[in-house]
Amino acid sequence: MTSSEQWIARADRVIMKTYGRYPIVPVRGEGCRVWDADGKMYLDFLAGVAVNNLGHCHPKVVKAIQEQAARLIHCSNYYHIPSQIELAELLCSRSFAARAFFCNSGAEANEAAIKLARKYSRETFGPERYSIITAAESFHGRTMATVSATGQEKVQRFFDPLLHGFVHVPFNDAAAIEAAVTPQTCAVMLEPIQGEGGVNVPAPGYLQAVRAICDRHQLLLILDEVQTGLGRTGKLFAHEHFGIEPDIMTLAKALAGGAPIGAMLAREKYAEAFSPGTHGSTFGGNPLMTAAALAAVNALFDEGLLERAQTMGTYLVRKLEGLKAKHALVQDVRGIGLMVGMGLSIPGGEIVKQGHTRGLLLNVTHDTVLRFVPPLVVTEGEIDEAVAILDELLAAAGG
Ligand SMILES: *Cc1c(COP(=O)(O)O)cnc(C)c1O
């Protein structure tokens, strides 16, 4: 058997260095646990970055993939695909949306949203109306359009010229959006809770105010729910917490229980703008991925995981608040459902590494924010276990 060390040495020779990878080689997973190539077990509080909402290798997803793989893996969007149709019906019946477009990732879903907003706006208001307002510290993906939409210099640098037509304003500042609207503006694009930007929760009234601005100026509201969607926050979609609906929503990460997929959903009025030949994807919505997604979304409901994300999220936050009371370097605990961040007064990288040694997979984002996005199937016992490890790590880190 190949050891972790051997795999890592081989990776060093052939894998592009786009990620600063940790020296861990997970080869098997079940529920909230993964095992590496040396047989070491980890408790997974990153869940593939909010992808494995159902835990690893959920039996219903595994079965759906196995059965569909044996029947038809791929055919082409030149034909109708039953599992794609059923998935669109399910997502539309559970949301504001009338139609869905399927692709393969979050970035692609956002690309599709940007293209749809621009095409609709050009055809409705004229070719000058193409600009999209997005937030500082946002993250929308790694393609050229989504890098341009992303409000983080570290993602954009090296890739000039960026796509023209994106304006960045501070998050949680509706007045800044209002002030940025010009005759060129066609849409506002936001994450309901910023993920990569440090688990930034919207201020009370913020998203409602943004919705009102969009209505007043006839702008499309695009919500990037790639990370917040599919039960992560205790609702199917995070915007449900705020009593508003977007015009376009993008999904990806957890949609197919770990299989790669993206989706862009829209109201009928806007969806109409995509006519045959105006957008597409070879693999998008293919039989295998949509069968996996159908099983994954149904499992969220069948197993009561939205409610579970709320109760376990409340439990996790209470436990982390306990650590805050004990350790001076913990600044704050924030989040909704099982999307939780803990702000530190120091960079979190070393704590993450020490967590790995102790068998806990966790993550730091925005340098100083520990991000907790465990599978929604996580138990109180597993939360206790993670918090106990974290307690020791914080003490060792100096407070
Ligand atoms: C992860 C993420 C993306 C990018 O998704 P990919 O599948 O990596 O392209 C876009 N938006 C948000 C909010 C994300 O969290």
CA of 286 to the centre of ligand 1 (A): 20
Same domain, residue pair 265 and 322? no
* Domains in the chain, number: 2
**Host domain of residue 387:** 4-57+304-396
Model confidence, pTM: 0.98
Same domain, residue pair 183 and 202? yes
Give the span between the Cα atoms of 82 and 96, in whole angstroms: 22
Domain boundary among 302, 320, 351: 302
Q: Does residue 174 surpass a pLDDT of 90?
A: yes
> Is 390 part of a structural domain of the chain?
yes
**Identified catalytic residue from 36, 44, 224, 247:** 224
Q: Tell which atom from ligand 1 comes closest to the C-alpha of 191.
A: 13
Chain segment 366-382, per-residue pLDDT in tens: 999 999 999 999 999 99
Give the span between the Cα atoms of 343 and 200, in whole angstroms: 10
Mutate to test the pocket of ligand 1, among 226, 251, 261 (most ligand atoms within 8 A of CB): 226
**Identified catalytic residue from 119, 235, 253, 319:** 253
Q: Which residues contact 332 (CB under 8 A, 6 or more apart)?
A: 324, 342, 343
Cα angle 114, 224, 153 (rounded to 5 degrees) comes to 80
Higher-confidence position of 263 and 153: 263
Per DSSP, the three-state class of 251 is strand
> Is 64 part of a structural domain of the chain?
no
Same domain, residue pair 240 and 317? no
Any idea what the CATH number is for the domain that residue 295 is in? Answer: 3.40.640.10
Ligand 1: residues with CB < 6 A are 105-107, 110, 139-141, 191, 195-196, 224, 226-227, 252-253
Mean of all residue pLDDT scores within the chain:
97
What's the confidence (pLDDT) of residue 398?
83
Same domain, residue pair 258 and 359? no
CB atoms under 10 Å from CB of 326, counted, come to: 12
Same domain, residue pair 37 and 113? no
Per the annotation, the verdict on 235 as an active-site residue is no
Average pLDDT over residues 245-265: 98
Q: Tell which atom from ligand 1 comes closest to the C-alpha of 138.
A: 13
Q: Which residues contact 242 (CB under 8 A, 6 or more apart)?
A: 192, 202, 207, 208
Chain segment 80-108, per-residue pLDDT in tens: 999 999 999 999 999 999 999 999 999 99
Residue 264: name the closest of 81, 50, 143, 111 by CA. 111
Per the annotation, the verdict on 391 as an active-site residue is no
Cβ-contact 340, 396 below 8 angstroms:
no
**Identified catalytic residue from 45, 96, 101, 139:** 139
Cβ-contact 284, 294 below 8 angstroms:
no
